[in-house]
């Protein structure tokens, strides 16, 4: 039997991998994938807690998280495509279109 | 013995492939590493007796979301982006701050004690079937959040449609 804290530690490390990716990458798509990694790490801890506490609510919240992530990916990717049409780059530091010069 | 071995394997592959995924220069390579991570997360869910969630993970994440990412990467012409540096200028400071936070979060994860125990034991779930149990709880106790979820999934549908139509008219006019 694997202890619960191992799952929580794995989820924490995975969350911070996504966090570091979100903070340090230049690319918009990579930042978006980092958000997906963070959501997945939260799902790991929810499912592990739901298994060890013998309750099923964690898995239902994980289902909701997966569904909302799907919707967010659709919206975010169309925004990325529109931004790319406007200015052909994906580097975040190049996007200053809304700033007043 | 076997659950520990499986957990070690899944955890090692998940951590390695996620770190490899966020450090590759080529977007397609990093997306394929992330795909490996999603599949092994599904294996971890199987280890936790969550078969339905493992299936949903494979279908939704590995099947739908990652394919959307791959379509977008193939749609955009990113040849010159792969030759440039991938990290921001001051990424070391952010990495150190994140590692400090990580230390405290892992300390919190190892000192966690559970106090609450629900009444969905493994025997009950095995007798009833995992998908059936999940469905009963979802459609009885969580019906209103489920309907809200349907509405939230309708909003991106309309939004993406509007964005695509507006792009077409901007191109002609």
Q: What's the ipTM? A: 0.89
Share of chain B above pLDDT 90, in %: 33
Question: Would you call B134 and A74 a contact, using CB atoms and an 8 Å cutoff?
Answer: no
CA distance linking residue B64 with residue B58, whole number of Å: 9
d(CA B46, CA B48): 5
Give the CA radius of gyration of chain A.
17
The domains of chain B are located at: 1-79
> Given a cut of 60, is residue B47 above it in pLDDT?
yes
Could you list the pLDDT tens digit for every one of the 101 residues in chain A? 788 888 999 999 999 999 999 988 888 888 899 999 999 999 999 999 998 888 888 899 999 999 999 898 988 888 888 888 877 777 777 777 667 66
> Nearest C-alpha of chain A: how many angstroms from B46?
10
Q: Which residues of B touch A25 (CB under 8 A)?
A: 22, 86-88
Quote the pLDDT of residue B92: 82
CB contact under 8 A, A37 and B18: yes
- Note whether A97 and A87 are within 8 A (CB): yes
Handedness of CA A34, A37, A41, A47 (dihedral sign): positive
Strand partners for B146: none
Average pLDDT over every residue of B148-163: 90
- Give B99 to chain A, closest Cα distance, Å: 8
- Eight-state DSSP code of residue A9: H
Nearest to B60 by CA among B43, B38, B75, B30: B38
The mean pLDDT value for B134-162 works out to 90
- Min mean pLDDT across A35-39, B24-28, B55-59 is at B24-28
Cβ within 8 Å of residue B73, ≥6 positions away: A29, B27, B28, B31
CATH of domain B1-79: 1.20.120.1200
Sign of the four-CA dihedral B128, B131, B135, B138: positive
Note the helical H segments in chain B. 2-23, 27-47, 51-56, 66-75, 91-110, 122-128, 130-140, 143-172
Residue B168 has pLDDT above 80, yes or no: no
Search chain A and give the residue with CA nearest B42: A44
Q: What's the pTM?
A: 0.88
Across the range B135-153, mean pLDDT stands at 91
pLDDT of residue B170: 57
Question: How distant is the Cα of B173 from the closest Cα of chain A, in angstroms?
Answer: 15
Q: List, for residues B63-115, the tens digit of each pLDDT value.
A: 889 998 998 888 887 776 667 777 877 878 888 888 888 888 888 878 877 77
pLDDT at site B167: 61
pLDDT, position B173: 41
For chain A, list the domains and their CATH numbers. Answer: 4-94 (1.10.287.3510)
Which pLDDT belongs to residue B146?
Answer: 93
| Cα–Cα distance, B136 to A56 (Å, whole number) | 11
Distance CA A30, CA A25 (A): 7
Question: Which residues of chain A lie closer than 8 angstroms to B107, CB-CB?
Answer: none
Taking an 8 Å cut-off on Cβ atoms, the answer to whether B61 and A40 are in contact is yes
Give the pLDDT of residue A15: 92
Query: Is residue B171 over pLDDT 80?
Result: no
- CA-CA distances (angstroms) from residue B130 to A44, A58, A93, B120, B151? 17, 13, 47, 10, 26
**Paired strand residues for A25:** B87
């Amino acid at each position: 039997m694997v202890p619960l804290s191992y799952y929580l530690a794995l989820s924490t490390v995975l969350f911070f991998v996504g966090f570091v990716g979100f903070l340090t990458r230049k690319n918009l798509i990579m930042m978006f994938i980092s958000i997906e990694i963070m959501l997945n790490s939260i799902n790991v801890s929810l499912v592990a807690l739901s298994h060890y506490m013998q309750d099923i609510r964690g898995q239902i919240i994980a289902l909701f998280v997966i569904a909302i992530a799907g919707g967010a990916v659709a919206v975010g990717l169309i925004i990325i495509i529109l931004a790319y049409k406007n200015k052909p780059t994906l580097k975040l530091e190049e996007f200053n279109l809304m700033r007043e010069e | 013995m076997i659950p520990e071995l499986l957990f070690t394997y899944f955890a090692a592959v998940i951590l390695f492939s996620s770190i490899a995924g966020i450090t590759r220069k080529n977007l397609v390579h990093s997306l394929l590493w992330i795909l490996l991570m999603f599949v092994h997360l599904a294996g971890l869910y199987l280890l936790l007796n969550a078969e339905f969630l493992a299936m949903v993970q494979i279908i939704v994440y590995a099947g739908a979301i990652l394919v959307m990412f791959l379509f977008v990467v193939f749609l955009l012409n990113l040849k010159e982006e792969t030759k440039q540096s991938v990290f921001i200028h001051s990424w070391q400071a952010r990495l150190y701050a994140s590692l400090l936070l990580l230390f405290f979060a892992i300390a919190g994860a190892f000192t966690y004690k559970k106090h609450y125990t629900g009444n969905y034991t493994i025997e009950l779930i095995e007798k009833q079937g995992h998908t059936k149990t999940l469905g009963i709880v979802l459609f009885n106790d969580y019906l209103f959040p489920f309907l809200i979820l349907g509405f939230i999934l309708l909003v991106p549908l309309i939004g993406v449609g509007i964005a695509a139509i507006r792009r077409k008219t901007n191109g002609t006019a």
